[in-house]
Structure 1
Amino acid sequence: MENSTKSIGKGIDRIDGILKITGKATYATDYPAKNMAYAVLFKSTIAAGQITKIDSTEAEKYPGVIKVITHENAPRLNTKGGLRGGALLQGPEIIFHGQHIGIVVAETFEQATAAAHLIKVEYNQKAEKTNFEKLAETPTMPKGKELADQVRGAGKSAMKTAEVTVEELYETPIEHHHPMEPHATMAMWEGDKLTLYNGSQIINGAQTAAAATLNMKPEQVRIISPFIGGGFGSKGGQWANLVLTAVAAKMVNRPVKLALTRQQMFNSVGLRQRNMQKLSIGATKEGKLVALAHEIISHTAINDEYIEPCGDCTKIMYDVPNSLITYRVVPMNIILPTYTRGPGKSTGSFALESAMDELAYKLKMDPIELRIKNEPPKDPSNGKPWSSRTTVKCLQEGAKAFGWDKRKAEPGTNKIGDDLIGYGVACGTYPARQRDSSAIIKLTLKNKVVHAKVEIAASDLGTGTNTILAQTAADGLGLPVNQITVKLGDSDLPPAAGSVGSVGASSFANAVNDACIKITDELLAKSGKQFFVRPTAAQLMISESFTDFQTRSDSKAPAEAEKYSAHSFNANFAEVRVNSITGMVKVTRFLAVTGAGKILNPKTARSQIIGGNVWGIGMALTEESVIDPRYGNFATRSFADYHVPTNLDIGNLDAMFINEEDLIPNKMGVKGIGEVGIVGVAAAVANAVFNATGKRVRSLPITPDKLL
């Protein structure tokens, strides 16, 4: 049956939706195995020092306990194997509160949990570095060369030539990822071969990191991860729990499951680091930018370095001849920070876009007009031409759809009852890239019906990868979607990029599309015929009676792509109501307008954008992980005190996409939307709060005590 209408661009339902709502989708701990054992981690209760004694006598006697594993009996691992954060039970050294110091393996999860509480640990405690404010007074240069000071023109010194200036400090707190599915692994050994069922955003990355850490070859390790209950970056790099599950399974010679609890998620799998950002903007009285400086202080781990690139938006968003971007860092006794949705761009855009709003207010200028006035004709950071840039269109179309003309420029003047009404706007961006990926397509013909199977070691975080790849294959092969099967989430499949950095959709879809073109070409060659109109692969299978045929394609980004600066862009519009008596903020309306190239499926794309918007609203109003500086542990360690927005916290959300064809970054013109959905959101809310109240909150989250 030929596919008469195109599938790409249609908002079809997720092809795996029924599996998920019926509970048939298999996540990391859903796989059955004979003789399963259960592992529970136990953790350090100090932030710095050494373990002097571990007494596990009582735990080992507890009913059902099979093994207690600590640094005293764990095998030697390769600590430079690529896992993040250390904590591999390789010695007595403690570098953060909550570091893994052992595993209890038992017949049941409950027995392992109870036994873990019986273990007595003695420490030689050292002075911990956990007070960010104090340490930030004497930060150091980062080790990473890409974070060296970036100066353009006269740098910050050009500020003295400006007629109007804004110089302020903006702060964003530690945040945690908190996917619905906490990190979990099941490990099974068969001889020297290891299978790990695990939520992995980068399937092949998890495979190579696990193999290297365990001193094995990648082909000895198989990662199976067909469904992932969210990750937001925390499942991008892999953490110690992945390999420690394999260690436990080897030591007890049985399959083992290890699932983190929600509380353990706070100190096991990274976090979004706290950032202090000084923004200095100088402009003429007419609103033309003359200088821009973005000076950032962040923290990292004692033993390793990760720093969010908070200056990334500042580098490219506005046309300014003189700029400075600097990074400074303070090592602390806290788990290594890591990639968190929109890393650097979400936090950096809060500072940049808040400062732009402050400048607009000082200039008595509309914030949209100020942004358009400083639109750069090419990428200011490297001089490359844009592959395309939709910022102005996003602002203009969004203003019309949102009703920006109803905004009152003077703060605090729009009131209904006890509520102050405010409008805010902020822009964002995220790079558009394609990464190397491979795909196999297998075609079969039975009873004159063609079916296709797509195989690729991609991952689906819940974002709709299965669906967009089925749509891509349907159009590429001339088949309806219901005759396509997609197999992903397995390292035995052709290698692929990860679901990280908004490279997933462009990398996976282009690999599948290339495989469709290739298989059609090969079927044409095999037929030995010439056709006036190019037939589809499905038509060729039927006309030539081929019962089965397959091919593999290995795809790369176009060579020309490097000559351009390619990005997705957005404009975010927020309406807030602030109760003048309680200080409570409610986002009543939010609109995100995004230019992200070809939208493969508007339904799943809208879901992605709205998800990013919700997190951005949470970033603005509720989310904050608080460290107790006396001990280095998190005072917030459950959903009772770490507030993720729920339905009642969120008003009317809407998402619009700009029609955009940009075939420079990749052949299909797919740009990626997973990251950009959060960029600029917190600033739009903060700017709306200022418009409502006249109070500028520069330290997130914006809680009632900061407004009253």
Structure 2
Amino acid sequence: MKRRKLIGEATSRVDGISKVTGAANYATDHKIPNLAYAVIFKSEIAAGTISEIDQSAAEQSAGVLAVITHKNAPKLNLKANAPDARPDSSIRGGALLQDNKIEFYGQHIGVVVAETFEQARAAARLVKVSYQKSAAKIEFEKHINEAVVPTGKEFQDDGRGDLNTAFQSAKFKVEAVYETPIEHHHPMAPHATIAVWEAPNKLTLYNEAQVVNGVQRAAAGTLGLPPENVRIVTPHVGGGFGAKGSQWSNLVIAAIAAQAVKRPVKLALSRQQMFNSVGLRQRNHQRLRLAATQDGKLTAIGHDTTTHTATTAEFLEDCGEGAKIMYDSPNSLVTYRVVPMNIILPTFTRGPGQSTGSFALESAMDELAYQLRLDPIEFRLRNEPARDPSNGKPWSSRSVVQCLTRGAEVFGWNRRRLEPRTVRQGNYLIGYGVSSATYPARTRDSSAMVKLTRKAADVRASVELAASDLGTGTYTIIAQTAGELLDLPLEKVTVKIGDSSLPPAAGSVGSFGAASFTNAVYAACGQLRQELQAKSNQQWATPPTLVQLMEAAKLSEYQTRADAKPSPEAEKYSSHSFNANFAEVWVNEATGMVKIPRFVAVTGGGRVLNPKAARSQIIGGVIWGIGMALTEESVIEPRYGNFITRSFADYHVPVNLDIGEIETVFVTEEDKIVNPMGVKGLGEIAICGVAGAVANAIFNATGKRIRNLPITPDKLL
């Protein structure tokens, strides 16, 4: 009997109808009776203390139920949010209304609860706050020389060989600084929570979270509750890109507001509040030093990152990780330095470290290739490492060569000319650029429950785990996995996720969501078949169906749970996704405006569970990478510390007219070392390397090397 084939099929979203009809519930969509509304108010200085808060006018305003500040907020367990606590299991960025200290502009300093949202918003504007200001560290350039070695073990200096000697003695070398600005996540749905106290010590939070059990741990730890007394409900997440991977103070503030008024409370951040409420991608100053022999063999790779963090805690992007593993070199040094500043704590942002780090590394590789008069693809191929240079481990699989060679064929790279400014069409200078990039492929502990019900010959399955769906297709790939392994059509498989009462699972972060979720389902489905086989007490000439197994065992219902963990064998290997990016740019010589009519993204991301969803992931990453290259930048007003860019009117993300044709290609990878299903994840790698390819294409078009993003027309004229 031929088994059903679902994994790897281009299947439409099983939750698509519920989304387009409005039936899918996001954080603020849940119908909760007797709901009150909360609006946060924020600090208007970047450093100092609150001298006084006059909330009398707000308290007397129509419909107001409570005004909560540090003067009357309950005491919380701040030990749960220590600087060394897991980012997905603690409340990040402070601002929990515990004292009068101000560490950044826009810090949450109070909340108004009222009968309606409009009443709460109006009352919040009536609160009068006076401050005692302190000198604030706001301008990165003024404090960059104060940077120190980070405390995190993973950010200590890491090298091999003698970089300085190799670099100084080299004839062919590049030393340059590449800068990326502060960026913001801007998911479609801003952060929001509905808090409902079911009992004095039992809480339900309707939230949008990338890590369901992480939110549960963060809220429970901060509020001093047992984790099992906090339920997180998050069936759908309206985007996150890392901002909803960590949890921020608005989550707990909603809970204490509901506790204060003894009724459910909804707290939703506005788009402008998002800029200084839920983290950001920090600004990075990256010094690259590359050296090579005349025949194009690298002799030195140095990658030094200087960045900023908050005054209260430390967070860094690992920008130098690509420099450790992408290319073979006997001499390497990766360093990090950080300066605490009065800016909200940075956090994970799509492709953390590798999207920004690859811009610097791949730009420097392009510069050195041009100096050597080598084709930049050939230069990369000559420095392909046989093993992971950072630790000597063998690759579980590595597809850089396939990505570059296949991409060159699809893109038509042979039409590229070495010399810049040699191809034009009317007022446009035309250039081609390439880059490669990597992102770790990881699997995390996850559990799954599979439940079967049978009515005569009709068997249906329900798959349950505390996974999350960012909008990337988690429901669908789980249904495909279970459907194929149980030999059931998709319409007979129900998926329940987004609830902390379900078996615990990893989060949709770090590109380990899909791999972790589906491998847990894979384990549960395999275990279920084995258990039914044992209960049937029969020998089968051919693999039996679920109907046969359940009939033989005289069962109308059955369920099992499996707990999947990463294989210890996988630790012996280095596992990563890889890609190659190819950009064609047209630069208007008169205006400096850049168009990207064509982009080819080639990805080696292990087993592709759903080509339709995978293609969307890559396209989304490329579009953001183009935004990183050309338009996105959050600008701080240096006198006060607030962001000048506070809406989509001035924070420019790419729109349809900015994007040309994007072609996605997946190279075949079978990697059973990384996990039993061979899944690596695509969410992070999709953006990595994109900005570098665009910057390299702009150099090929114009002869101008722009090393600080975004590449705006003023920098090209």
| TM-score computed with the length of structure 2 as normaliser | 0.98
1:611 aligns with 2:620: yes
1:71 aligns with 2:70: yes
Structure 2 counterpart of 1:176: 184
Structure 2 counterpart of 1:136: 144
Counterpart mapping for 1:583-594 below 5 A:
583-594=592-603
Counterpart mapping for 1:144-293 below 5 A:
144-191=152-199, 192-293=201-302
Structure 2 counterpart of 1:696: 705
Structure 1 counterpart of 2:576: 567
Q: Cα offset for 1:319?
A: 0.4
Structure 1 counterpart of 2:85: none
* DSSP-derived class of the 1:190 partner: strand
Supply the distance in 1 between the matched residues of 2:377 and 2:347 (Cα, whole angstroms): 33
* DSSP-derived class of the 1:313 partner: helix
Counterpart mapping for 1:455-534 below 5 A:
455-534=464-543
Change (3 A) 1:539 1:578: farther
Supply the distance in 2 between the matched residues of 1:458 and 1:447 (Cα, whole angstroms): 32
Deviations 1:445-485 (A, max 9, x none): 11421100000000000010000000000011111111000
Supply the distance in 1 between the matched residues of 2:216 and 2:510 (Cα, whole angstroms): 19
* DSSP-derived class of the 2:466 partner: coil
Supply the distance in 2 between the matched residues of 1:629 and 1:493 (Cα, whole angstroms): 47
Supply the distance in 2 between the matched residues of 1:606 and 1:696 (Cα, whole angstroms): 31
Q: Cα offset for 1:105?
A: 0.3
Structure 2 counterpart of 1:639: 648
CA contact (8 A) 1:3 1:475 kept: no
Counterpart mapping for 1:20-31 below 5 A:
20-31=19-30
1:658 aligns with 2:690: no
Q: Cα offset for 1:534?
A: 2.6
* DSSP-derived class of the 2:145 partner: coil
1:375 aligns with 2:374: no
Structure 2 counterpart of 1:126: 134
Q: Cα offset for 1:670?
A: 0.4
Counterpart mapping for 1:84-95 below 5 A:
84-95=92-103
* DSSP-derived class of the 1:422 partner: strand
Structure 2 counterpart of 1:363: 372
Q: Cα offset for 1:409?
A: 1.4
Deviations 1:184-238 (A, max 9, x none): 0000001121000000100000001100000111011000000000000000010
CA contact (8 A) 1:445 1:545 kept: no
Supply the distance in 1 between the matched residues of 2:580 and 2:514 (Cα, whole angstroms): 22
Q: Cα offset for 1:157?
A: 2.6
CA contact (8 A) 1:627 1:635 kept: yes
Supply the distance in 1 between the matched residues of 2:325 and 2:600 (Cα, whole angstroms): 23
Structure 1 counterpart of 2:567: 558
Supply the distance in 2 between the matched residues of 1:447 and 1:35 (Cα, whole angstroms): 45
Structure 1 counterpart of 2:638: 629
CA contact (8 A) 2:537 2:553 kept: no
Supply the distance in 2 between the matched residues of 1:307 and 1:536 (Cα, whole angstroms): 51
Q: Cα offset for 1:35?
A: 1.0
Supply the distance in 1 between the matched residues of 2:164 and 2:467 (Cα, whole angstroms): 44
Q: Cα offset for 1:61?
A: 1.0
Supply the distance in 2 between the matched residues of 1:387 and 1:163 (Cα, whole angstroms): 35
Supply the distance in 2 between the matched residues of 1:546 and 1:685 (Cα, whole angstroms): 60
* DSSP-derived class of the 1:678 partner: coil
Supply the distance in 2 between the matched residues of 1:88 and 1:3 (Cα, whole angstroms): 58
Whichever residue aligns with residue 64 of structure 1, its letter is: G
What residue ranges of structure 1 are gaps of 5+ in the alignment? none
Q: Cα offset for 1:538?
A: 4.7
Q: Cα offset for 1:34?
A: 1.4
CA contact (8 A) 2:591 2:713 kept: yes
Structure 1 counterpart of 2:84: none
Supply the distance in 1 between the matched residues of 2:281 and 2:2 (Cα, whole angstroms): 45
Q: Cα offset for 1:95?
A: 0.3
1:80 aligns with 2:79: yes
Q: 2:120 aligns with which of 112, 117, 129?
A: 112
Supply the distance in 2 between the matched residues of 1:391 and 1:532 (Cα, whole angstroms): 45
1:414 aligns with 2:423: yes
CA contact (8 A) 2:587 2:702 kept: yes
Supply the distance in 2 between the matched residues of 1:386 and 1:107 (Cα, whole angstroms): 59
* DSSP-derived class of the 2:28 partner: coil
CA contact (8 A) 1:3 1:474 kept: no
Q: Cα offset for 1:273?
A: 0.2
Q: Cα offset for 1:629?
A: 1.2
CA contact (8 A) 1:64 1:107 kept: yes
Supply the distance in 2 between the matched residues of 1:254 and 1:145 (Cα, whole angstroms): 44
Whichever residue aligns with residue 188 of structure 2, its letter is: M
* DSSP-derived class of the 2:300 partner: strand
1:309 aligns with 2:310: no
Q: Cα offset for 1:536?
A: 3.9
Aligned residues: 707
Supply the distance in 2 between the matched residues of 1:335 and 1:490 (Cα, whole angstroms): 29
Deviates most, 27-36 or 169-178: 27-36
Supply the distance in 1 between the matched residues of 2:618 and 2:79 (Cα, whole angstroms): 36
Deviations 1:236-292 (A, max 9, x none): 010000111000000000100000000000000000000000000000011100001
CA contact (8 A) 1:573 1:591 kept: yes
Structure 1 counterpart of 2:105: 97
Deviates most, 401-410 or 224-233: 401-410
* DSSP-derived class of the 1:29 partner: helix
What residue ranges of structure 2 are gaps of 5+ in the alignment? 81-89
Supply the distance in 1 between the matched residues of 2:6 and 2:131 (Cα, whole angstroms): 62
Q: Cα offset for 1:161?
A: 2.7
Whichever residue aligns with residue 39 of structure 2, its letter is: V
CA contact (8 A) 2:706 2:715 kept: yes
CA contact (8 A) 2:457 2:547 kept: no
Q: Cα offset for 1:3?
A: 8.0
Structure 2 counterpart of 1:55: 54
Structure 1 counterpart of 2:347: 338
Q: Cα offset for 1:543?
A: 5.3
* DSSP-derived class of the 1:327 partner: strand
Whichever residue aligns with residue 383 of structure 2, its letter is: N
Supply the distance in 1 between the matched residues of 2:706 and 2:168 (Cα, whole angstroms): 26
Whichever residue aligns with residue 682 of structure 1, its letter is: A
CA contact (8 A) 1:3 1:479 kept: no
Supply the distance in 1 between the matched residues of 2:122 and 2:74 (Cα, whole angstroms): 25
Q: Cα offset for 1:533?
A: 2.5
* DSSP-derived class of the 1:452 partner: strand
Deviations 1:586-637 (A, max 9, x none): 1111111001111000000111111111110000000000011111110100
* DSSP-derived class of the 1:511 partner: helix
Q: Cα offset for 1:539?
A: 4.1
Whichever residue aligns with residue 446 of structure 1, its letter is: K
Supply the distance in 1 between the matched residues of 2:27 and 2:232 (Cα, whole angstroms): 10
Q: Cα offset for 1:160?
A: 1.9
Whichever residue aligns with residue 681 of structure 1, its letter is: V
Supply the distance in 2 between the matched residues of 1:538 and 1:578 (Cα, whole angstroms): 63
CA contact (8 A) 2:211 2:506 kept: yes
1:677 aligns with 2:676: no
RMSD: 0.9
CA contact (8 A) 1:8 1:475 kept: yes
Supply the distance in 1 between the matched residues of 2:221 and 2:689 (Cα, whole angstroms): 38
